[in-house]
A = this chain, B = another copy of it.
Amino acid sequence: MEISKMTRLISLVKEKKPLIHHMTNVVTINDCANVTLAIGASPVMATEIKEVEDMIQLADALIINLGTIHDVVFESMLHAGIAANKKGIPVILDPVGVGATSYRTERSMELLEKVKMAIIRGNSSEIHTLIGGTGGTKGVDAGEGSVPSIEIAQQAANAFQCVIGISGKVDVVSNGSKNYFLSNGDERLTRITGTGCMSTSLIGSFSGVTSDYLGAAITGMSIMSLSGERATKHLATDGGIGTYKIKLMDEIYRMNEEVFAKEVKIHEC
């Protein structure tokens, strides 16, 4: 993966301002909207089943995030996903908490059967659950699994024929044949809610301007990790996670080609 391909995406999203339709959870929905705006794209968040197909006609990508799913919104997600496939725009899945309850696991399986995903991003136990593993998701946080993320990512990429992103201390992205480690980041990213969901919103934003979904996933996840790293530099000694979250959003907003090219740490493996 050449850096120039990714820096090009950073400019392209600001030029094209793709419309990213989010069907997401009510915990981090505001953060998802703001991060989408921060990177230069445009968010919309409709869930009524009677309008999702119309909204898909305007959208450049669809994000489905299972964070607070219930039966009513799940039906709408299915509808939207099928419409997105039909139109040919990418669908990005964030299987929040899958593995924690059988309801979540079953709904995600149903979704994967009926909707073709372009990219799936989650933590290792969520993605492991999708390929039949028992990763021990603890609520919405990753359990400690024994299978390396790289193996999980590659298997899942092959199983669902899509790009897989696994967030962790080191992020992993795979399209089944090529695998990448992304090693920017900061521990504080796990101490605020929504950094995973926001990472998915960034991926979705980039996937709205390219058919190179591998590049979109790497760029989106790297920007979140790199911004999380850079945010610590602006944190005064009295700073806690309140300030950290604000500085993180600032860094995402200010991310540009030069900083990205200079500081991003991506390794093919």
Contact = CB atoms under 8 A, between A and B. Distances in A.
A30 to B, nearest CB: 6
Contacts of A104: 51
A59 B138 CA distance: 9
Interface in A36-51: 37-38, 42-48, 50-51
A268 interface: no
B240 A139 contact: no
B247 A253 contact: no
A29 interface: yes
A237 to B, nearest CB: 10
Contact of A100 (B26, B30, B44, B234): B44
A254 interface: yes
A192 to B, nearest CB: 6
B101 A55 contact: yes
A69 to B, nearest CB: 6
A39 to B, nearest CB: 11
Given A44-B100, A44-B140, A242-B249, A27 B30 contact: yes
B68 A47 contact: yes
B243 A51 contact: no
A110 to B, nearest CB: 13
Contacts of A211: none
Given A34-B193, A38-B241, A245-B249, 12 more contacts: A21-B139, A27-B29, A30-B194, A34-B242, A38-B242, A42-B139, A42-B141, A43-B139, A54-B100, A191-B253, A238-B254, A242-B248
